[in-house]
Structure 1
Amino acid sequence: MDVFFRSVVGKLWMTIIALFALVLTIFSLLIVQSFDSFYTNRQTQNLQDLAEGLSSGLSASDNTQGALEMAAAFGVVHHTGMVVLDDQKNVIGKSEGKGLPSIPVDDLLASPELKLEEALAGQHPAPKRIYLQVGANDQKNPNASLQLIAVAVPMEYSAGKHGSVVMYQAMEDFDDTVNEVRFLIFVVGVLAFVSTTVFAFFLSSRVTIPLRQMKETAHRIAEGDFHAEIPVRTADETGELAASFNTMAARLNQLVDALSKEKEQLASVLRSMVDGVVMIDAEGKIALTNPPGERFLRDWKFEHPDEPAPLFPIYQQVVQTGQEVTEDIPLQGRIWALVMVPVIDREQIRGAVAVLRDMTQERKLDKMRNDFVANVSHELRTPLSMLQGYSEAIVDDIATTPEEHKELAQIIYDESVRMTKLVNELLSLARMEAGHVELFREPVELRPYLERIQRKFTNLARERDIHLLLEMSTSHNMVSMDPDRMEQVLTNLIDNALRHTPGKGSVTIRARGDKTLLLEISDTGSGIPQEDLPFVFERFYKADKARTRGRVGGTGLGLAIAKNIVEAHGGTIGVQSKMGEGTTFTIALMLQSKTK
């Protein structure tokens, strides 16, 4: 029921009913009042005229008794009661009109509204309404009352004696008429209520059907159906509203499609970005991220589970200053460069956008470049200084004997060879790192190949009292590879092993494996510290930082070159070492051809 009264139909129905009830009530009051005034005035005037006429007739008649009888008969005809009094208020004549109820005459004469004293004094008071209690002896209705219109006029019934004529009429006819009018008004009200209700529902249905359609269409649009339309069936204001609603829905559909496409494009751009993007709203909560940004937040939570991400303190700084903030954030061995800028809407900061870029590789490349320049400078400074010093000794004739000249020339030659070797290895490494590794693969018989490399270091191992061993535990003998390049790798590894293995130690060249050929160079030397193992294949890295090279020592590029050669063959190279127990370098090659 509450829903009905809140609806347009209920409100329209209540408005029409209330308006009609108000109009009908005012109309009924006015018509009853008007009818009452008209009837009362007319009846009282007629009664006044009738009383005055009878009074004059009685005063002029010589036969008072006959005149009274005639007046009584006249009153009966006009439904009028009459009481004739002498100057002592004695009733000298009386008649009751036809159809009039019996009334208590004494109560009528005693009524102050009648103003009998004024009539006896010769005045002419106006007729008045008088209410008499007529049910005192009626046990069924003891409170019944009778409404009369009565008037008292003076009368001269004999010479020098003045009495009064009192005439009265009952108001029952008038009340019956008023009640009939009221009944008719009630009937009209009921009929009007029914017809108005039917009309209100008919009119409201005509109005509300398009409104309900608009409501249903609005719900469909709210649920995402932007193609919903309202049928336009009329050309009135409702039809124009429906057409405007359809136009609005069409434009909204176009706008939503444009926003959806723009959102998809933005999402695609964010997903494809290498940099992390994190958007923080005005409440300081993360509103949007892309995969790199999510990875940064996930890594931070993993490393710092009890600490908030560093974005939020920086966000507070951005909100306070309104300026861009840049900062480097180290996280799990990586360096992230953060740039956070405020999002300003109508001169108010509504949030911030943070861009995170992984700068680890760039910083590493910068460090490698700086280290490379420093190492090359260091490697070249020593031979250049020696070349300059010994050359000055020869020029200044400090060396006087042929033996001294020969010794200085030998030193200058060795240093020039060292510089040439360094330059060649730098050029070779640069070409390899640029991807220009040229391999000349050919089938190589593995055992003779390794035995030849072993023989190359036999004398050096004998001089240092080191056992150089060869172990073959693979059934594969033919291998496709570039023999010169691979010999360069093995030579470098064996040379390093011999230089770091003390006397009485051993260096083993080992070949094993079935699907993958494993070439191992193991020694029983001093070993490599655990903290240095991840960096042994970097350029110019030296695990033995206190070691002083010989005049024709290594350049620190051999392992880096070896790694590039092995990877060019499609293999991998790794190292295992323990301080005081030795080191093992392992080369893993996928066999391309084999012969059992």
Structure 2
Amino acid sequence: MDVIFRSVVGKLWMTIIALFALVLTVFSLLLVQSFDNFYHNRQTANLQELAEGLTEGLAQSEDKQSALELAARFGLVHHTGLVVVDENRAVVGKSEGRSLPEIPIDQLLAEKSLKLTEALEGKHPKAQRLLLSFDGTEQVNSPSRNGSVPILAIAVPLEISIGHKGAVVMYQTIEDFDDTLTEVRLLILVVGVIAFAATTFFAFFLSSRITSPLRQMQETAHRIAEGDFHAEIPIRTTDEIGELAASLNSMASRLNQLVDALSKEKEQLSSVLRSMVDGVVMIDADGKIVVTNPPAEHFLRDWKYEHPEEPFPLNGYFQQVVRGGYEMAEDIPVQGRIWSLVMVPLMDREQIRGAVVVIRDITHERKLDKMRNDFVANVSHELRTPLSMLQGYSEAIVDDMASTPEEHKELAQIIYDESVRMTKLVNELLSLARMEAGHVELFKENVQLKPYLERIHRKFLSLAREQDIQLDMDLSTTIELAEIDPDRMEQVLTNLIDNALRHTPSHGSVSIRAYGEHALCLEVSDTGSGIPQEDLPFVFERFYKADKARTRGRAGGTGLGLAIAKNIIDAHGGTITVQSRLGEGTTFTITIPVDTKNT
């Protein structure tokens, strides 16, 4: 029931019923009042004219008794009763007949509203409407008819004889008028019931015609809200509802076009972000990352590894931008790469609702700068110094500065060692140049992985014991055969393990680990001094020596080993990466794809 009253049908029905009930009630009251006033005024005027005419006739008649009898018979014709009283209110004559109502005459004469006293005094009062009860109870102006008679009465003065005054009381019944009003009320009630039924039917019929398209609009709106922007409302009329349906269809069409445009724009933006070389990160007001692209994901992965204590990546920089409300630009070294970071606050009506970060990998540019800056120093250190030593010691021999054969032999040995060192350096430079030019010769073969790695492990065990370093091996891979160049790969692993042992202090540890199922992963990690963050981007460059203190105490290499190792791994189609923290150690990871069909 509550649903009906809350619906358009119920509200329209209640409105029509309320309006109809109001109109019918006002019309009934006005109609009954009009009947009542018209009948009362006309009957009152007729009775008053009749009474005055009779009294005038009686006053002019010599035979009062005969005239009274004639008047009584005349009143019977008009259903009018007549009572003649003397000045003492005693009844001296009255009319009788079946057509007259039986009323208590004593009560009639005692009615104050009749104004009989004024008539006895010679005045002419107006006719009055009375209700006489058979039990003598006065019920003036009451519509009840239980034991009572409604009448219209008038008292007029009459001179009964010379010197004797009296009055004539005439009365008429108004029961017919009350019956008429009752029938009118009954007729109005019947008309009201019929009109109520007809109005109810009309209201529900009209409201159903109105609500049917509204329901279709509601269903279409739900479909549009669920994403079906092609939904349309059938237009069946040309009225306001039809115009509303046309407007909704137009709105849905434009909304569909707008959504398509937004979708295309979103796809274009996503494609642009994916194809960008620079990383893009969008951060919301809570410091959470909501949008990234592949370069940014690579940066965030390395950042999280290096800063695990931060709740959100770049949280420190984000707080500075939010508090200051200004753009910030800075170069950040992260896990061997240098990133140029530009963070701009994202404004919304003068309020900061986040930040947009553009990240560019400038490692290559910095590498080129460092290579240009270090090239002269490296060549001077690696080539000019041995040449100077060769020149100096050879001049000493030529000038006979060595007086004994032992001194000649010592100088010759130094010249020989420096020439060997230069030969090794030149050979490595030539080998590296050929590799970088794409002329890497690999002689691949299927190698049993476990015996191969165990042999390399045993090769360094004695050296590790001499330095009091624990050398561990973990072979957790499921790969048994690997198609590699065993000599080249041994050259890479030898270089990595030798570097790890040289840069790990006593009581430290070096571990060799092999793992992976679909690709062979070789990992060499140590607990040494680590590599500074600013040097990580350059570890695979020529003549690299990160911390000169790392090579003190042992003969330093040429600085070409890691560059050669990277080229060898690239030739195998793999990758080599490095992760390090200063004072905690370094980990080199080699990943080589393996054909699992041969394993």
By the TM > 0.5 criterion, same fold? Answer: yes
1:86 aligns with 2:86: yes
Alpha-carbon deviation of 1:565? 6.1
* Counterpart contact for 1:59–1:158, Cα < 8 Å: no
Q: Is 1:41–2:44 an aligned residue pair?
A: no
Task: Give the whole-Å Cα distance in 1 for the aligned partners of 2:246 and 2:575.
Answer: 74
**Which whole-Å CA distance do the structure 2 matches of 1:286 and 1:400 have between them?**
71
1:539 is aligned to: 543
Instruction: Give the CA deviation at 1:271.
Output: 4.4
Contact 2:28 2:188 in 1 (8 A): yes
Q: In structure 2, how many angstroms separate the alpha carbons of the residues matched to 1:122 and 1:203?
A: 69
Equivalent-residue separation in structure 1 for 2:562 and 2:39 (angstroms): 134
1:162 corresponds to which of 150, 161, 165: 165
Shift of 1:38: 0.8
> Which residue number in structure 2 is paired with residue 457 of structure 1?
none
Match of 1:477 in 2: none
Alignment partner of 1:266 out of 263, 269, 273: 269
Structure 1 match to 2:254:
251
For 2:51 and 2:330, the matched residues in 1 are separated by 119
CA distance in 2, matches of 1:329, 1:100: 124
State how 1:430-445 maps to structure 2 within 5 Å. 431-432=433-434, 434-437=436-439, 439=441
Match of 1:69 in 2: 69
What's the counterpart of residue 244 of structure 2? 241
Letter in 2 for 1:152: A
Report the alpha carbon displacement of residue 430 of structure 1 after superposing the two structures with TM: 5.4
Name the amino acid aligned to 2:114.
L
Which stretch of the first structure deviates more once superposed, 254-263 or 163-172?
254-263
Q: Deviation digits for residues 531-556 of structure 1, max 9, x if unmatched?
A: 3899799735486423579xxxx744
> Could you tell me how far 1:225 is from its partner in structure 2?
1.5
Aligned to 1:127: 127
Q: Is the 8 A contact 1:136 1:143 kept in 2?
A: no
The CA distance in 1 between the partners of 2:432 and 2:193, in whole Å, is 108
Structure-1 separation of matches of 2:310 and 2:290: 20
**1:154 CA drift (Å):** 0.5
Equivalent position amino acid for 1:37 in 2: N
Deviations 1:397-433 (A, max 9, x none): xx898424999x9899889968975884575265245
Further displaced range: 422-431 or 69-78 = 422-431
Query: Per-residue CA shift, 1:10-48, capped at 9, x if unaligned?
Result: 222222222222222111111111111111100100110
Q: 2:199 aligns with which of 170, 190, 196?
A: 196
Q: How does 1:21-420 map to 2 (within 5 A)?
A: 21-96=21-96, 98-135=98-135, 144-273=147-276, 276-282=279-285, 284-290=287-293, 307-327=310-330, 337-356=340-359, 374-380=377-383, 382-383=385-386, 402-404=399-401
Counterpart of 1:197 in structure 2: which amino acid?
T
Task: Give, in whole Å, the separation in 2 of the partners of 1:209 and 1:321.
Answer: 59
Greater CA drift, 51-60 or 555-564:
555-564
Separation in 1, partners of 2:485, 2:279: 43
**Cα distance in 1 for residues equivalent to 2:540 and 2:302:** 28
CA displacement 1:182-232 (0-9 Å, x = unmatched): 122222222222222222222222222222211111111112222111222
Matching residue's letter, 1:431? A
- AA aligned to 2:438 is H
> Per the alignment, do residues 364 and 221 of structure 1 end up closer, same or farther by CA in structure 2, a change over 3 Å counting?
same
Q: Helix, strand or coil: the match of 1:266? A: helix
CA distance in 2, matches of 1:540, 1:117: 144
Once residues 384 and 355 of structure 1 are traced to their aligned partners in structure 2, the CA distance between those partners, rounded to angstroms, is 49
1:523-577 deviation digits (Å, cap 9, x = unpaired): xxxxx9863899799735486423579xxxx74436754774687588999xxxx
Counterpart AA for 1:403: D
Matches within 5 A, 1:546-557: 546-547=553-554, 555-557=558-560
Aligned to 1:506: none
Percent of pairs with identical residues: 63
CA–CA separation in structure 1 for the residues paired with 2:389 and 2:38: 147
Q: How far off its partner does 1:365 sit?
A: 6.9
Give the letter for the 2:244 counterpart: L
Q: 2:574 and 2:330 mapped to 1: Cα distance?
A: 40
Comparing 326-335 with 183-192, which one deviates more in the overlay? 326-335
Moved more, 113-122 or 236-245: 236-245
Aligned to 1:471: none
Aligned residue for 1:531, secondary structure, equals coil
C-alpha contact 2:24 2:192 (8 A) present in aligned 1: yes
Moved more, 539-548 or 34-43: 539-548
Select between 152-161 and 563-572 the one with higher mean Cα deviation.
563-572
Unaligned 5+ residue runs, structure 1? 444-479, 501-527, 574-588, 591-596
Alignment length, in residue pairs?
492
Q: CA deviation at 1:233?
A: 2.3
Deviation at 1:85, TM superposition (A): 0.8
Contact kept, 8 Å, 1:383 with 1:418, in 2: the verdict is no
Aligned AA (2:543): R
d(CA) in 2 for partners of 1:302 and 1:564? 26
Shift of 1:118: 0.9
SS at match of 1:279: strand
Instruction: Summarize deviations over 1:252-279 as a string: whole Å, max 9, x none.
Output: 2222222222223333444455655432
The RMSD of aligned alpha carbons is 4.8
- TM-score, normalisation: structure 2: 0.68
**Structure with greater Cα Rg:** 1
Counterpart-to-counterpart distance in 1, 2:314 and 2:348: 21
Residues 136 and 278 of structure 1: is their aligned pair in 2 closer, same or farther, counting only changes over 3 Å? farther
Point out the more displaced range, 414-423 or 105-114.
414-423
Per the alignment, do residues 262 and 562 of structure 1 end up closer, same or farther by CA in structure 2, a change over 3 Å counting? closer
User: 1:440 Cα shift?
Assistant: 9.8
Are the equivalent residues in 2 in contact too, given 1:383–1:416 (CA < 8 A)? yes
Change (3 A) 1:558 1:252: closer
Name 2:16's counterpart in structure 1: 16
| TM-score, normalising length: structure 1 | 0.68
| CA pair 86-357 structure 1, distance change in 2 beyond 3 A | same
- Kindly tell me: are residues 442 and 259 of structure 1, through their superposed partners in 2, closer, same or farther at Cα, counting changes over 3 Å? closer
Q: Which runs of 5+ in 2 are unaligned?
A: 138-143, 446-483, 503-524, 532-538, 577-591, 594-599
CA contact 1:127–1:152 (8 Å) conserved in 2: yes
C-alpha separation in 2, matches of 1:249 and 1:572: 53
Contact map agreement 1:79 1:97 (CA 8 A) in 2: no
What's the offset of the Cα at 1:152? Answer: 0.8
8 Å Cα contact 1:277-1:290 kept in structure 2:
yes
Q: How has the CA–CA distance of structure 1 residues 308 and 368 changed in structure 2, closer, same or farther, with 3 Å as cutoff?
A: farther
Contact 2:341–2:358 under 8 Å retained in 1: yes
Q: Distance in 1 between matches of 2:16 and 2:312?
A: 66
SS at match of 2:291: strand
Residues 241 and 568 from structure 1, CA distance in 2 versus in 1: closer, same or farther, beyond 3 angstroms? Answer: closer
| One-letter amino acid matched to 1:265 | Q
Whole-angstrom CA distance in 1 between matches of 2:374 and 2:49:
140
* 1:157 match: secondary structure: strand
Does the 8 A contact of 2:386 with 2:422 survive in 1? no
